[in-house]
Amino acid sequence: MASNKAAHDPYLISPDQPVLRNLIGANTYEELSQAESDLYHARVVQLKDHSLVAPTRDEQELRGLHRHLFQDVYDWAGEYRIIDMRLGDVSISHRVTVSLSLCVTS
């Protein structure tokens, strides 16, 4: 029986193609990783040269930074995930705890 673990992940291209859905047309992890790195670094340079995200010191700023840095790669950049994120069997991001952590540290 095939695992439908990936079938429930709306961030993947498809259950048969476990690569994050992206705006650049990358179909392999290697293509996506290289393009993401290049585009991210270009956006970091923009942030250093211009004040593009208001320094509000809250989740709005964090989401703005994420949106700016990854806008060329992911259509969900700057948005909260609708599912928990895992890397293999390790949970690396819970959709609820990110917001709660920001409230505690503010």
Q: Is residue 21 part of a domain?
A: yes
Look up the domain containing 48 and give its range: 6-105
- Note whether residue 19 is domain-resident: yes
Which pLDDT tens digit goes with each residue over 26-55? 999 999 999 999 999 999 999 988 888 888
For residue 101 the two structure tokens come to 């952590």
3-class state of residue 90 by DSSP = strand
State how beta strands 85-87 and 17-20 pair: unpaired
Q: How many domains does the chain have?
A: 1
How would you label 58-87 residue by residue, b for 16+ Cβ within 10 Å and e otherwise? eeeebbbbbbbbbebbbebbbeeeeeeeee
Which residue shows structure tokens 């585009």?
A: 39
Residue 1 domain flag: no
Q: pLDDT for 68-89, tens place per residue?
A: 999 999 999 999 888 877 666 6
Kindly state whether residue 55 falls inside one of the protein's structural domains: yes
Amino acid at 16: D
Q: Do residues 72 and 26 make contact, with C-beta atoms less than 8 angstroms apart?
A: no
**Could you tell me the CATH number of the domain that includes residue 27?**
1.10.3290.10
Domain-located, residue 14: yes
Give pTM, 2 decimals: 0.73
* In a domain? residue 72: yes
